[in-house]
Amino acid sequence: MKTGSMILAFCSLTLGLATVSPGQTRITVQVDQPGAAIRPTMWGVFFEDINFGADGGLYAELVKNRSFEFPDNIMGWSRILRSGSEGYIYIERYPQEQTNAHFLRMKVGKTGQGFGVSNGGFRGMGIQEGKDYRFSVQARLTEGGPMALRIELAGQGRRPLAEAKLEGFTSQWQKHTVVLRAGSTDARARLNLLVEGSGTLDLDMVSLFPVDTWKGREGGLRADLVQMLADLKPGFLRFPGGCIVEGRTLDERYQWKTTIGDPADRKLIVNRWNTEFNHRLTPDYYQSFGVGFYEYFLLSKDLGAEPMPIINCGMACQFNTGELAPMDELDPYVQDALDLIEFANGPADRGWGRRRAEMGHPEPFGLKLLGIGNEQWGPQYIERYKVFAKAIKDKYPDVQLIAATGSDATIFPNGPQEIEYLWSQFRKLKADIVDEHFYRRADWFLDNAHLYDDYPRDGSEVFVGEYGAQSIGVASPDNRNNWHTALAEAAFMTGLERNADLVTMSCYAPLFCHVDGWQWRPDLIWFDNLRVFGTPNYYVQKLFSLNRGDRVLPVAVAEPATTPDGKARFYASSVYDETSNEMILKVVNATGEPVRAIIQTKGAKAVGLQANVTVLASDDLNDENSFEAPRKIAPVESRIPLRSGEFRHDFRPYSMTIVRLMCQSR
Ligand code: AHR
């Protein structure tokens, strides 16, 4: 530890002691006994295309059904037939077999006041004043002409938000591009394509993107949404799901190879969340794979997060059909997994590594973690897991495999017994990492902050791969991201941190949610077509991640504060940051009363003269953040002066507090 430039108060812990009153809460941190290493992967994020997470969200494409490949090929589009115009539109097929099989044909007799087509985007299109939007289309003129296309971004007002014109169509398919600058803002704009001239014009891959995407990549990701992830500094990115990995049937499973290469050739499939919940039917939800595996790897790299793909293991979603690939037909599934590792890590001059290089990334992505299935259970899973594990470990012994333990034990058939069975198998198999999911009421998280204290430590690490406190019930449409749920998660996370020798990774689920396009709540980050805000749960995740530290420090809480019914609702965990030489203490006071506690840093030879304190709190457990008040519950920082390594601190009712204190151990 460097001491030269730091102001340290060398303290004898017998001096300046805070007086301890009977019954007073005491938090003792053993600074000179650093324990398990906290992995860089401890706090990560889990991305799934649910709630318009990718299409309509992270993927900045504003046109829905741009390639006319939805099963209802015209879904999302409507005809514009203004006074005096004559013509019709219909869907045509390319003569040759191809992934993008359909296109739109417009036969125009008279344009009158306007003839064309209109697209309403994903619950409207978010258009911002002064921003540029890149429109592109594949088009050809098959009859008549000359014809032109007037592109209009239409808002609620009479005047378009932006206009442009494309001309020069020929009998050959060609890509035409124009950039439009928006004169005003509208969260629910439409794209109108109005034809000039008479004849037949064919259109395909009709696209509109903001020019300002994340890192300015053309056809890229929504910058504001990625920024929210970047601010979390996640240790890993788990993708692409979730149940969408499994699909309702095996045909509808996620197949990474169909999600790379030219976006126009990526095979669209239904999104499994499309009609999953009767209470939130979303029949226009499809996966365009504009965000595919290449983009996920790139995003992981941008975020400084370990990529963690999850692959289908020959099992469709067991909450749906549970369709199984027979054991003697598993080879293609296993080969997909092996090829994926080659795509991520292989040399740039051959095989799947070459495909990666052709897409623009010759350097390997450094894949180290791979999930075998999402929420699978039963002996059928174990049989399949073994085949995958053998094949992958034989070829890539360094890739760590993640095994599933079904879903939350309370929601799948015979959950607790199944989980016990799966664990017993994984112990025999010496599985690297075992994934557990929790979607429970807030009180369960408060009651289970010590869940992992007594877990067997016999080889496999634990990944808490999905969790979120449900204010009403699992995936209830009435669930709220209120302060109660966030505080309960914070309490639970102190338990994850204290057990970092066993729990090496964790992430909240689901991640994103479009305010008009969701299926599942609660969710970490809410957005509409123009705005985004972090829930209180988001700030809890962020505080843990930004205060990750390197080693667990032992913490004891004496006389923890209790609720009126006698439940201990006061939690603490601590880590040491070896770069900044700080002890980081995390405290959750889940009682409705202020708690005056004594903090003792035991084994410290010297401490800083002040501590940095960050508090996340609200007096009302029902409080939430919103577009109107996005930081109603957000971290507030302050500094407190110190005279010694033992001091008193008042913890607010219903609060999470981080204390960072320069500390040198004996
Ligand atoms: O996070 C939402 C869903 O919950 C995930 O897709 C699935 O793994 C779990 O059941």
Average pLDDT over residues 586-601: 96
Residue whose token pair is 């040198």: 664
Q: Nearest 5°: phi and psi at 487? A: -65, -40
Average pLDDT over residues 421-436: 97
The per-residue DSSP string of 9-26 comes to EE--TTSSPPPPPTT-EE
Report the sign of the C-alpha dihedral through residues 631, 634, 637, 640, in that order: positive
Instruction: Tell me: pLDDT of 4 over 50.
Output: no
pTM: 0.97
Instruction: Tell me: pLDDT of 545 over 60.
Output: yes
In the reported structure, the alpha carbon of residue 509 is separated from the centroid of ligand 1 by a whole-number distance in angstroms of 7
pLDDT digits (tens, 9 = 90+) for 296-331: 999 999 999 999 999 999 999 999 999 999 999 999
Cβ 243 under 6 angstroms from ligand 1: yes
Average pLDDT over residues 196-219: 98
Q: Cα–Cα distances in Å, from 656 out to 142, 452, 588, 616, 635? A: 65, 21, 4, 5, 9
SS3 letters across 574-636: EEEECCCCEEEEEEEECCCCCEEEEEEEECEEEEEEEEEEEEEECCCCCCCCCCCCCCCCCCE
Give 165-173's long-range contacts (Cβ < 8 A, gap of 24+).
Answer: 165/196, 166/137, 166/139, 169/139, 169/140, 169/141, 169/145, 169/201, 170/140, 170/141, 171/140, 171/141, 171/142, 172/140, 173/138, 173/139, 173/140, 173/202, 173/204
Structure tokens at 92: 């045509």
In the reported structure, the alpha carbon of residue 615 is separated from the centroid of ligand 1 by a whole-number distance in angstroms of 31
Average pLDDT over residues 628-646: 96
Cβ 353 under 6 angstroms from ligand 1: no
The catalytic residues are 375
Pairing of strands 286-287, 199-210: unpaired
In the reported structure, the alpha carbon of residue 100 is separated from the centroid of ligand 1 by a whole-number distance in angstroms of 29
pLDDT digits (tens, 9 = 90+) for 146-183: 999 999 999 988 899 999 999 999 999 999 999 999 99
Instruction: Tell me: pLDDT of 3 over 80.
Output: no
Q: Which among 461, 465, 405, 454 has a CA at the least distance from the CA of 430?
A: 461
Average pLDDT over residues 63-79: 98
Instruction: Tell me: pLDDT of 13 over 50.
Output: no
Instruction: Tell me: pLDDT of 260 over 60.
Output: yes
Q: Which stretches within 304-350 are classed as H helix? A: 331-345
The residue whose CA is least distant from atom 3 of ligand 1 is 242
The residue whose CA is least distant from atom 9 of ligand 1 is 242
Instruction: Tell me: pLDDT of 469 over 60.
Output: yes
In the reported structure, the alpha carbon of residue 521 is separated from the centroid of ligand 1 by a whole-number distance in angstroms of 11
Cβ 51 under 6 angstroms from ligand 1: no
Q: How confident is the model at residue 12 (pLDDT cuts 50, 70, 90)?
A: very low
The pLDDT assigned to 595 comes to: 96
pLDDT above 90 as % of the chain: 94
State the greatest distance between any 2 C-alpha atoms of the chain, in Å, as a whole number: 95
In the reported structure, the alpha carbon of residue 524 is separated from the centroid of ligand 1 by a whole-number distance in angstroms of 14
Closest ligand 1 atom, residue 241 Cα: 6
Q: Which among 423, 308, 420, 287 has a CA at the least distance from the CA of 366?
A: 308
Pairing of strands 595-602, 25-30: parallel
* DSSP letter assigned to residue 38: P
Whole-number average pLDDT of the chain: 95
The per-residue DSSP string of 501-534 comes to TTEEEE--S--EEETTT-SS---SEEE-SS-EEE
pLDDT digits (tens, 9 = 90+) for 351-402: 999 999 999 999 999 999 999 999 999 999 999 999 999 999 999 999 999 9
Cβ 376 under 6 angstroms from ligand 1: no
- For Cα atoms 435, 549, 29, give the angle at the middle one, nearest 5 degrees: 105
Cβ 507 under 6 angstroms from ligand 1: no
The pLDDT assigned to 8 comes to: 52
pLDDT digits (tens, 9 = 90+) for 647-665: 999 999 999 999 999 998 7
Cβ 137 under 6 angstroms from ligand 1: no
